[in-house]
Structure 1
């Protein structure tokens, strides 16, 4: 599990861009308490969408 800033860094996007992807439903996140975390598998699946194109 990655924090939003960690996931944003892996995708080379800003934190706000990552939040836009999450809010738009393009990237899934898990809420634990007040923390929003992104599964590494969800991040890999998101990237794979663009590799197939």
Structure 2
């Protein structure tokens, strides 16, 4: 019986939740700015135990917010 095929390298899996360092990299902003945006209510997060995570949808909403503000 042949082994199952490995996933194609061209397939991209999008995560539902990002750790803060990952969100920093995705948004190209510093840890300080990330936490300022969270405290200001501009970037939504969830907690899983003691870990703060940024939902993928919250990243898209934050980018849309920045785009709207730029268009003003």
Fold-level match, TM-score > 0.5?
yes
Please list every run of 5 or more consecutive structure 1 residues that lacks an aligned counterpart in the other structure: none
| Aligned residue-pair number | 53
- Give the C-alpha shift of residue 45 in structure 1: 0.9
Larger Rg: 2
Do residues 6 (structure 1) and 22 (structure 2) align?
A: yes
- Larger RCO (CA under 8 A, 6+ residues apart): 1
Structure 1 CA distance, aligned partners of 2:48 and 2:66? 28
Q: Deviations over 1:1-53 (max 9, x none)?
A: 00011001111011111011001111110011100000011100110122232
| Runs of 4+ displaced beyond 3 Å | none
- TM-score calculated relative to the size of structure 1: 0.89
- TM-score calculated relative to the size of structure 2: 0.68
Please list every run of 5 or more consecutive structure 2 residues that lacks an aligned counterpart in the other structure: 1-16
Structure 2 CA distance, aligned partners of 1:50 and 1:15? 18
Q: Which has the higher helix share?
A: 1
Computed over aligned residues only, the root mean square deviation of the Cα atoms, in angstroms, reads 1.0
Structure 2 CA distance, aligned partners of 1:44 and 1:16? 20
